[in-house]
A and B are shown apart, each in its own frame.
Chain A
Amino acid sequence: MWQRMTKHYLFWPLAALAVLLLFNLIYNPGFFSIRIQGGHLYGSLIDILNYGSPLMLVSIGMTLVIATGGIDLSVGSLVAISGAVACLSISQATDQNSLGAVIMAVAMALGLSIVLGLWNGLLVAGAGIQPIIATLILMVAGRGIAQLITSGQIITISSNTYKYIGAGWLLLLPFSIFIVAAVWLVTALFTRRTALGLFIESVGSNPTASRLSGIKSRSVIIAAYIFCALCAGIAGLLVSSNVSSADGNNAGLWFELDAILAVVIGGTALTGGRFYLSGTIVGALIIQTMTTTIYTIGVPPEINLVVKAIVVFVVCLIQSEQFRARLAKRRKSRPVGTDQEVTRHA
């Protein structure tokens, strides 16, 4: 029973999250209190879900890209670009509160995200450039583009309609949570109830073999990058609408790293192949909980980076077969081969 539990891919991420929450329970009893105020739920747990939603969105997209054996470094810049486009469009509207102006802004931001995702996908799958490098171009230039859109300033808007996306409430909960849930559901449906997920995993494991067996590797990869960019675009809307402003310089800074970290914590290997959407969500929640915990216990928030670094090291070491083989050799109780085989996707 115990063995079967530990072998489940969600076991370690969930255990880590549980440890984090337990730590909060002991050191910070107020952490779990949730109160209703003015028809909204308030509390640290709600905050984690609310502030973590852009990261969760970006991580969902990143999961699919990583599953194809790629990586998308440009998501942080895309978050900034999408927010900048939306805010610029709204700031020029005659009535900032009108639904039409907001829909127009959202459509423009997401449309541009899709185009930029297509660009990434074409570079990777069309031109055959390494994903790290191909997306590096947009990561560098994207910040410049975002600043170009905002003319290097922070665009502030006053649109209650737009503000609803990132700071609104629905049925006691922040509206952003529903967006994440919707994207998660749609992604899960498309990847687990259709053959699409299988295609992605197969392309990630071996693109050549997949192509030979009749899968259009190229289209699958391009679609993954477009989807990732779209997720980043939606995250950009959330970020900018939450603060009713667009900052080309700082919006979405380090998002790519946090998203990659969330995916890796969730159990998806960076080498591509099998992916775990729910693992990614847990991974993103772990990162956000860590951040919130560090803020609430009064340690300088900058320490966060050191903690993150240690988490990355530990997770990577656990994922490394060489490291596990070494551990197993030291224990000598179990044969190395079976150990490796069994825990491969743990």
Chain B
Amino acid sequence: MLKKPYLPVLITIGLFALAFAAGSMRYTGFFSTQVLFNLLIDNAFLLVVAIGMTFVILSGGIDLSVGSVVALTTMLSASLIEQGGLPPLVVIPLVLAIGTVFGGAMGAIIHYFQIQPFIVTLAGMFLARGLCYVISINTITITDPFYTKMALTKIRFFDGSFISISVVIALVVVLLALYMAHYTRFGRNTYAIGGNEQSALLMGLPVARTKIAIYAFSGLCSALGGVVFTFYMLSGYGLHAVGLELDAIAAVVIGGTLLTGGVGYVAGTFFGVMIQGVIQTIITFEGTLSSWWTKIVIGLLLFVFIVLQRIFNVSATKDRAL
């Protein structure tokens, strides 16, 4: 028998397979490992960011700052390397640390002052985006050999298809997150807090520590996503990744994670990102459709999944309903 919570994830996977199959039937050259790998290559940064977001949403919160942190990371990396002359192996750990501290600080404010995550991370979003412009309002191109090497290296498979190093990073993050969510105390505490924070506290779980760690992890993921994005774009710019937070939230929701927290899977988020990638690819292959259709289709998918969630969730929240 299927367990109820798995159903949204299975629907997501089914939908992904369906979309990919539909694309393969309709367009020649669609059905290839390279198209599949391109989904990963083009969405590696989104995948990393969405993984961090998954934990935040599982805990019942939300993180709107991720897109800005990605932009800030690209900006910091670019300016430190190109203008500061620091070696990449110093810069990358540094930006990751900054992202983690940034997220952790937001988590601390959310927890200790009991301010809604939505508004705190909104301020964080303004702050990070603003800091980008404090560094520079122009694009800074990166010509550092390490970065170009990371961007251009292709890991080839026997059939000639390839993936980039970013994909490897993203997949490692996914595996790590799967382990963290299902086999560590941190993961279980996250689910517990998302289920009911009050109960988690009464059970003696370290709510404060876990909550701060969740936001710190999301900050780390955003910074890592930013590093991957830097490999992808080879530049730092304050307008990079505008609206990425929405894509990440959409991926998590389409992946079957309940926005009320407590229910969801990291694997679902992976397929949520992949579905968005497939939609974009199909629209590119179609040629006549314009890019804004992506937004409309993603909005529609969001709607369908949220209504689905609502149907699954109706009995649980009956007493809270109007």
Seen from chain A, the residues whose Cβ lies within 8 Å of a Cβ on chain B are 71, 125, 127-130, 132-134, 136-145, 147-148, 151-152, 207-208, 211, 217-218, 221, 248, 257, 260, 264, 270-271, 300, 302-310, 312-313, 316-317, 319-323
Once the chains bind, are A257 and B122 in contact (CB under 8 Å)? yes
Cα distance, A136 to B305, chains bound together (Å): 13
Residue of A nearest to B290 (CB): A152
Given contacts A141-B300, A207-B322, contact A322 B246 (CB under 8 A): no
B112 at the interface (CB under 8 A from A): yes
Query: In the complex, which of the residues A208, A304, A312 contacts B119, with contact meaning CB atoms closer than 8 Å?
Result: A312
Once the chains bind, are A130 and B260 in contact (CB under 8 Å)? yes
B:284-305 near A, CB below 8 Å: 290-296, 298-300, 302-303
Once the chains bind, are A127 and B310 in contact (CB under 8 Å)? yes
Query: In the complex, which of the residues A137, A207, A211, A303 contacts B299, with contact meaning CB atoms closer than 8 Å?
Result: A137
Once the chains bind, are B306 and A134 in contact (CB under 8 Å)? yes
Once the chains bind, are B134 and A132 in contact (CB under 8 Å)? no
Given contacts A142-B299, A322-B114, 7 further A-B contacts (CB under 8 A): A127-B307, A128-B314, A130-B259, A130-B260, A133-B306, A141-B295, A207-B322
Distance between A215 CB and nearest chain B CB, rounded to angstroms: 11
Distance between B215 CB and nearest chain A CB, rounded to angstroms: 15
Residue of A nearest to B106 (CB): A313
Given contacts A133-B306, A305-B126, A306-B126, contact A144 B133 (CB under 8 A): no
B89 at the interface (CB under 8 A from A): no
Once the chains bind, are B295 and A143 in contact (CB under 8 Å)? yes
Cα distance, A54 to B321, chains bound together (Å): 34
Distance between A68 CB and nearest chain B CB, rounded to angstroms: 11
Query: In the complex, which of the residues B114, B118, B310 contacts A320, with contact meaning CB atoms closer than 8 Å?
Result: B114
Once the chains bind, are B130 and A308 in contact (CB under 8 Å)? yes
Residue of A nearest to B137 (CB): A302
A sample of 29 cross-chain residue pairs with beta-carbon separation below 8 angstroms, ordered by A number, consists of A125-B322, A128-B314, A133-B253, A134-B306, A137-B299, A139-B246, A140-B302, A141-B303, A143-B292, A143-B295, A144-B295, A147-B295, A152-B292, A208-B320, A218-B322, A257-B126, A270-B116, A270-B118, A300-B137, A305-B130, A307-B130, A308-B130, A309-B124, A310-B127, A312-B119, A312-B122, A312-B126, A313-B109, A316-B123
Once the chains bind, are A138 and B126 in contact (CB under 8 Å)? no
Cα distance, A323 to B115, chains bound together (Å): 10
Q: Give every chain B residue within 8 A of A71 (Cβ-Cβ).
A: 118
Residue of A nearest to B321 (CB): A128
Q: Which 3 A-B pairs have the closest CB atoms?
A: A141-B299, A302-B133, A144-B295
Q: Give every chain A residue within 8 A of B137 (Cβ-Cβ).
A: 300, 302
B120 at the interface (CB under 8 A from A): yes
* Total interface residues in chain B, CB < 8 Å: 50
Seen from chain B, the residues whose Cβ lies within 8 Å of a Cβ on chain A are 62, 109, 112-116, 118-120, 122-127, 129-134, 137, 238, 246, 249-250, 253, 259-260, 290-296, 298-300, 302-303, 306-307, 310, 314, 317, 320-322
Cα distance, A221 to B321, chains bound together (Å): 13
Q: Give every chain B residue within 8 A of A313 (Cβ-Cβ).
A: 109, 120, 123
Once the chains bind, are B130 and A302 in contact (CB under 8 Å)? yes
Q: Give every chain B residue within 8 A of A305 (Cβ-Cβ).
A: 126-127, 129-130, 133
Once the chains bind, are B246 and A140 in contact (CB under 8 Å)? yes
Distance between A8 CB and nearest chain B CB, rounded to angstroms: 24
Once the chains bind, are B133 and A303 in contact (CB under 8 Å)? yes
Q: Give every chain B residue within 8 A of A221 (Cβ-Cβ).
A: 322
Q: Give every chain A residue within 8 A of B290 (Cβ-Cβ).
A: 147-148, 151-152
Cα distance, A310 to B116, chains bound together (Å): 16
Distance between B136 CB and nearest chain A CB, rounded to angstroms: 10
Residue of A nearest to B317 (CB): A128
Residue of B nearest to A324 (CB): B113
Cα distance, A300 to B136, chains bound together (Å): 10
Cα distance, A145 to B260, chains bound together (Å): 28
Distance between B56 CB and nearest chain A CB, rounded to angstroms: 13
Cα distance, A313 to B307, chains bound together (Å): 34
Q: Give every chain B residue within 8 A of A306 (Cβ-Cβ).
A: 126-127, 130-131, 133-134
Q: Give every chain B residue within 8 A of A316 (Cβ-Cβ).
A: 113, 115, 119-120, 123
| Residue among A140, A218, A271, A303 with max Cβ neighbours from chain B (10 Å) | A140
Once the chains bind, are B310 and A128 in contact (CB under 8 Å)? yes
Residue of B nearest to A142 (CB): B299
Residue of A nearest to B123 (CB): A312
Once the chains bind, are B238 and A320 in contact (CB under 8 Å)? no
Distance between B115 CB and nearest chain A CB, rounded to angstroms: 5
Cα distance, A307 to B115, chains bound together (Å): 19
Cα distance, A128 to B307, chains bound together (Å): 9
Once the chains bind, are B292 and A208 in contact (CB under 8 Å)? no
Once the chains bind, are B134 and A303 in contact (CB under 8 Å)? yes
Q: Give every chain A residue within 8 A of B302 (Cβ-Cβ).
A: 136-137, 140-141
Q: Give every chain A residue within 8 A of B307 (Cβ-Cβ).
A: 127, 129
Once the chains bind, are B310 and A129 in contact (CB under 8 Å)? yes
Once the chains bind, are A211 and B322 in contact (CB under 8 Å)? yes
Once the chains bind, are B114 and A321 in contact (CB under 8 Å)? yes
Q: Give every chain A residue within 8 A of B250 (Cβ-Cβ).
A: 140
Q: Give every chain A residue within 8 A of B292 (Cβ-Cβ).
A: 143-144, 147-148, 152, 248
Cα distance, A260 to B123, chains bound together (Å): 11
Distance between A36 CB and nearest chain B CB, rounded to angstroms: 37
Distance between B156 CB and nearest chain A CB, rounded to angstroms: 36
Q: Give every chain B residue within 8 A of A143 (Cβ-Cβ).
A: 292, 295
Q: Give every chain B residue within 8 A of A321 (Cβ-Cβ).
A: 114
Cα distance, A273 to B154, chains bound together (Å): 57
